[in-house]
Amino acid sequence: MSIHELLLDAQGFLGQSLKDLQSPEEHELFRVVRAALSFISETGAVYPFEDYLRSRKDAPPYAVASFKTREDAEAWLQQHSEPPHGAFVLIADEYNIVMYVRELNDRRLFPHPILESYLDQLRRAAPSGTLLSFDRREEAIAWLRSQPEPPQRTYQLIAGQRHVALYHRNLQHYAVYPLPVTM
């Protein structure tokens, strides 16, 4: 089923569900969900939304941009015509959340702890067998970039410590993290 058909079917499903709504609050929630689907279509975000849906199963938390330094991220934030409030950006592979108050033109980036619990989940799901082994992080990244199809997630040993490499498909960026050690 194409993304266009999927969106149309979702809107049809919502239309059928309208008769079951009881309260004014439910009607308002319905209106917002229907408007969100229309927004995706009308703003040309159909294909990015399709990519988002397709990659969510094994993907890391979604980030809209990646920066090597906080200064680069701050420059992007100040130059952005309408920063994506509530979105994540990576700064040196650490998650930060974009906060933007349009009325005040207040723009800020705050560290966000989403990665901690996600890495703990990945630690529990990590294979116990033999892992690819590298002496340095740069070697691991070079190997990842040499793959014909970028793996979404790869567990590795780097300098003897267990790591996970996460591919951010929308950014074409690998982030490599040490896995938490169990106590």
Token pair belonging to 29: 């929630």
Average the pLDDT over each of 12-21, 30-39, 86-95, 106-115 and give the range with the smallest value.
12-21
Is the distance from CB of 48 to CB of 71 less than 8 angstroms? no
CA dist., res. 64 & res. 129, Å (int): 34
Is the distance from CB of 63 to CB of 86 less than 8 angstroms? no
Beta bridge partners of 110: 97
pTM above threshold 0.85: no
Residue-wise pLDDT for 2-19, tens only, equals 888 888 888 888 877 777
Cβ density class 159-182: b for 16+ within 10 Å, e for less: eeebbbbbbbebeeebbbbebeee
